Amino acid sequence: MPTILITGCSSGFGLETAKLFLERGWDVIATMRTPAASLLPASDRLRVLALDVTDPASIAAAAASAGPVDVLVNNAGFGAPAPIELTDPETAQSLFQTNVIGTLAMIQAVLPQMRQRRAGVIVNVTSTVTVKTLPVIGVYRASKAAVNALSESLAVEVAPFGLRVHIVLPGRSPETRFGQNARPHLRGADDPDYAPLLQQFVKSVQEDTGPVTHAPDVAAAIWRAATDPAAPLRIPGGADAEIWMAEAGL
């Protein structure tokens, strides 16, 4: 069976994607910064590897241990809500190191064997915040928009080798730990100029009763990207994602 390697499998989209591909008979390499095989069903088709996408040595070790990979899913990432002016330089560096450089490093680690075999699919998970102008998450949006641009160029570069690249764009997913993990990076709540903007942003999120993205939605979008040669470059990962992308003409 084909082999898929997924980053960021300790929770949320990555964990749900690993479960889906296991259920459907694939060999799954689920990577996490702190491996916890107990999060997934026991299976002889499952390998759980340690991987920190910000650590070149960790990437090299995981790639060597993984061996040939048919599908690479770059899912690991995090968000940080803060006005651009107030975003800590360290936070900005971490956002780009994880979301952009980490994705690039994983592509560079896995792509050579795909190119040699003239077979493989790369799926980069970004966000529909990249298709709409939003305040407070500007640096996060920039990091995910950079992955979109990277993916678009990569798709053109590797198509002659028989390889495919897809971007899965989830919407807002309250059920995942994304918001919880982003909260420590919040800045500006005590700033007299930015506080009203932040309060309005938080209120709009809390009071939003429209469609949202569920982790199985994203797993299904990744399944489509991995298995459907006719899948488009950009694939929405939830009901709200479909709406936002349609409004953006994508």
Catalytic residue set: 140, 144
CA–CA distance, 103 with 125 (Å, rounded to integer) = 10
Contact 51, 102 (CB under 8 A): no
Q: Read out DSSP for 185-247?
A: G---TT-TTTHHHHHHHHHHHHT--S----HHHHHHHHHHHHH-TT--SEEE-SHHHHHHHHH
Contact (Cβ atoms closer than 8 angstroms) between residue 92 and residue 79: no
Count, in order, helices (H) and strands (E) of the chain.
9, 7
Beta strands 234-236 and 164-169, pairing class:
parallel
Residue 99 contacts residue 125 (beta carbons within 8 Å): no
